[in-house]
Structure 1
Amino acid sequence: MDAEKKSAVLREGFLVKRGHLVHNWKARWFVLTSDKLRYYKYEGGKRDSCLRGSILLRDCEVICPFLDYENRPLVLKVQTQHGVEHHLEACSREERDRWAGDITAVVDKLRGSQVATEDEPDGSRLHNFNLGKVLDSMYDVHSGICMSNHVEQGSTYSNCFSGSAVVDWLVFAQLALTRVEALTLASALLEEGFLRTVGLKSAEALRSGGLSEQFLDDSTALYSFSDSMKKRGSVKAETSLSAVELSGKVIKRGYLLKQGHRRKNWKVRLFVLRSEPAFLHYFDPTKEDVSPVGGFSLRGCLVSSLGDNGVPSGVKGNVQGNLFKIITQSDTHYFIQAPTHQDKMSWIDAIREQTA
């Protein structure tokens, strides 16, 4: 770790990395410095001191979002000057974009240029609006637009959504500031073939309407993703658990370490906190299956911080620290480890708000 100490840490945290030889996905702890992106393994709940790999960032190219994986819409790609590709998955769009922005800033600084100028504050070059980013957001398994069955003039259509639902979602996701702006954006998606009409009403509007009237902000006009644009795991995720559990608003999401109930080993899991109804689900980020591997209602739960002095009762392994515990209404105990003290307190506060 001496080399890391000599170079200031610009950013660190969990990302899921695709292997080069065996194309599986592994959760790794990444550390960004002024010229490298290093990654480590977590073993038994504690970061391995052995460096697993290092990416030299000089003359690298950062591609974000990288949309080649159907069930992994939160991937960014770092390609080295020698053509080696590193595919890294974050826990959310915001985290992915922050990582991509910070890595891009390092790359540009190594080139002798600056990302953030007066014309492009905070690395806005990376965040320029584009339809690919909108599609990436709509594909998101946990917070993307929901598809369901709709009936129009006696016919039932599956895996679709209404025009007003698209407009609502674009505004809620802050991809558009107003409904008028969202309607323009939805029209562009339809015009480019990313969305298609479903049923008679939307098809008639596309055929006969003017440019500003081809997409309808209407709860009875139906649309879906084009046949070439598969909804990334949404149907699978919606049917894997009760629709009620997954219908709540996503409040918080992130990578945390969870101790297993039987083997007591520690694994990195993607946690998703929802409200109305309040549920906490966790996913295995190394698997292609987008279904939760577990979850529970937060009704009647107790959450508490555990001290870092010594190993609390019920906890196994050489833990890093920043532990907290959730006790469900059925008296099941979950031991969870956050990357930092700040992350731990943020999760505890967010969960307590849902248990109140």
Structure 2
Amino acid sequence: MMSEAAKSEAKKPIKEGFLVKKGHVRRNWRTRWFTLMDDTLHYYKNRGDPMPAGSIDLAGASLIVPNSGTTKKSFLMQLSSLCGKELLVQAPDQATLTDWADSIEKVISEQAKQSLQASGAGSMRRNTASPPASQKDILQAMQDRDAGVKVQDVTLKTIQIKKCFSGEAAIDWLIAWYFAKDRNEAVSLAGEMLLEGHFQCVDHELIQQHCVGGPQRKITPTIMCREFIDSSFVYYKFSAFNPGQMLDLLDSSDESDSSSDDNDLLTTAANTQDSPWPFATPGDPAGPVIKQGFLMKKRLKHVKQDWKARKFIIRENSPYLYYCKGSKESKLSGSIPLKDCTVAEMDDKSDAASSVKQHIKRNRFSLTTSSGERVVMAAPTAEDRLSWLQTIRKVIKEFTSP
């Protein structure tokens, strides 16, 4: 009979793709292939490996996604299982991070729903006799899918931020569910939870405008974390989803390997601006990003003709396709000149495909530079390949003489 592990592996993943994972022992960062199942998140050393290198059970797990600019690395999320296993991963961009976080959150929610149904428990009910004893209880109540605070997607400065709630909505909810007797008490309670790191303000400039003292008042990071604003147009989001033991990590998140600058989540917001490449390189590698993401790469004339997962970046005003190891955007591994470059899609039978691993046969394309060097790449999906081809061809057209 097929084992439970084999049955799980036989199921079609809810989501899959490359992410960068921080090691548990050496504490270094490595690109891994992740697959999200209906109860577990698996990761593999190589795409197509028969068995995962590791897994984390999502039943009762907690998820935290910090605000952009509050960590030394961008696009991070951290998972903590019910048994205390931690997983810290990095996405290539904000859209990918949001997509993964939403998918994982849905799995955690579904697991919680199934657990409630199995135990015969219902959804949260209003309790007028006594409020929950701790902030954790209040936080879990606020995140209740049926009776929690109302969340919505908001657009701030052309950036869409999902699952936010206004300060006014949070205060109304705390009063309606008898966690506070009036607005002053509710603001004080929300401020305490903000100071503990349970909420994050999604736009600090609005806090600057509405804190006591107005725009002229100097707002420090401490003040931004202490004063909760009772306003319909100042928005917050939860720091963690399903905050079980995850909230205990908020106090210990700065305990990381001192020999590395790749600290864990919720580090001090310092040096968070995108810095240029620390050395001279072709084009404009510090320009705004047009497109970025993971691709498999193979250099046909290289001594080692093996496939490597690399993060590729295309920037404005630059005729180069840059690439680097997944977590080391500040250390450029190389670049491919796109001026006068030829790009072509590849099918399963081209370029001696019989010698190519089955999982890399699909969604391949090649780039041939003006000097004749040929690079073959493979995208995770057909949609990803089409998007990369369209962007690359646009850059080639822009910088190639007619």
* Cα distance change of structure 1 residues 323 and 6 upon mapping to structure 2, 3 Å threshold: closer
TM-score by length of 2: 0.58
Alpha-carbon distance between aligned partners in 1 of 2:28 and 2:76, rounded to the nearest angstrom:
14
Give the direction of change, closer, same or farther, for the CA distance of 1:189–1:273 in structure 2 (3 Å limit).
Answer: farther
Q: Distance in 2 between matches of 1:281 and 1:332?
A: 16
User: CA 1:326–1:80 in structure 2 vs 1: closer, same or farther (change >3 Å)?
Assistant: same
Show the counterpart of 2:316: 275
Partner Cα separation in structure 2 for residue 22 and residue 189 of structure 1? 45
Q: Alignment partner of 1:47: what SS? A: coil
**What is the match of residue 376 of structure 2?**
335
Match of 2:357 among 292, 311, 318: 318
2:37 aligned to 9, 27, 33, which one?
A: 33
Contact 1:60 1:107 in 2 (8 A): yes
Q: Distance in 2 between matches of 1:351 and 1:249?
A: 16
> In the alignment, is the contact (CA less than 8 A) between 1:66 and 1:77 conserved in 2?
no
The aligned length equals 270
Shift of 1:297: 3.2
Q: CA deviation at 1:308?
A: 1.4
Q: 1:19 aligns with which of 4, 23, 30?
A: 23
> Structure 2 vs 1, CA of residues 314 and 3 (structure 1 numbering), >3 Å: closer, same or farther?
closer
Give how far 1:126 is off: 6.0
Q: Residue 120 of structure 1 is aligned with which of 141, 151, 171? A: 151
Q: Which amino acid aligns with 2:220?
A: E
Structure 1 residue aligned with 2:340: 300
* Percent identity (aligned): 26
- 3-state DSSP class of the match of 1:300? coil
CA RMSD for the aligned pairs?
A: 3.9
Matched, 1:241 2:280: yes
Q: 1:313 to 1:37 in 2, by over 3 A?
A: same
**Aligned match of 1:172:** none
Q: Flag structure 2 segments of 5+ consecutive residues without an equivalent.
A: 114-122, 124-143, 155-159, 167-201, 223-267, 398-402
Alpha-carbon distance between aligned partners in 1 of 2:86 and 2:97, rounded to the nearest angstrom: 17
Q: What corresponds to 1:156 in structure 2?
A: none
Question: Would you say the 8 A contact 1:298–1:328 is kept in 2?
Answer: yes
In 2 relative to 1, CA 317–299 (structure 1 residues): closer, same or farther, beyond 3 Å?
same
Match of 1:231 among 271, 275, 288: 271
Measure the CA separation in 1 of the matches of 2:165 and 2:150. Answer: 16
Q: 1:70 to 1:332 in 2, by over 3 A?
A: farther
For residue 348 of structure 2, give the secondary structure of its aligned residue in structure 1: coil
User: Residue 294 of structure 2 aligns to which amino acid in structure 1?
Assistant: Y
Q: Work out the CA distance in 1 between the residues paired with 2:16 and 2:294.
A: 12
1:121-168 deviation line (CA, Å, top 9, x unaligned): 5799964389xxxxxxxxxxxxxxxxxxxxxxxxxxxxxxxxxxxxxx
Question: How far apart, in 2, do the equivalents of 1:13 and 1:99 lie?
Answer: 9
The structure with the greater share of residues assigned to strand is: 1
1:345 and 2:386 correspond: yes
Asked if 2 retains the 8 angstrom alpha-carbon contact of 1:63 and 1:78, the reply is yes
- What does residue range 48-87 of structure 1 map to in structure 2 within 5 Å? 48-65=49-66, 71-87=72-88
Unaligned runs of 5+ in 1: 131-174, 195-227
Distance 1:250 1:286, change over 3 A: closer
Question: Offset at 1:314?
Answer: 10
What is the rounded CA distance, in whole Å, between the counterparts of 2:330 and 2:146 in structure 1?
36
The answer to whether the 8 Å contact 1:16/1:285 transfers is yes
Residues 34 and 106, structure 1, Cα contact 8 Å, conserved in 2: yes
- Seen in structure 2, the aligned counterparts of structure 1 residues 54 and 80 have a Cα distance that, compared at 3 Å, is same
Q: Specify the alignment match of 1:110 in structure 2.
A: 111
Contact 1:59–1:80 under 8 Å retained in 2? yes
1:72-106 CA-partner distances (Å, limit 9, x unpaired): 22221001112221011111111112111111111
Q: Secondary structure at the match of 1:96?
A: helix
Larger of the two Rg values belongs to structure = 2
Code of the aligned partner of 1:110: Q
SS at match of 1:110: helix
Distance apart, 1:59 and its partner CA: 0.8
SS at match of 2:26: coil
How far 1:182 sits from its partner (Å)? 11
Residue of structure 1 aligned with 2:292, choices 232, 253, 256? 253
Instruction: Judge conservation of contact 1:71–1:290 (CA < 8 Å) in 2.
Output: no
TM-score relative to the length of structure 1: 0.64
Cα deviation for residue 353 of structure 1 reads 1.1
CA deviations on 1:304-335 (whole Å, 9 max, x unpaired) are: 111112x6159975252221111122222111
**335-344 or 108-117, which deviates more:** 108-117
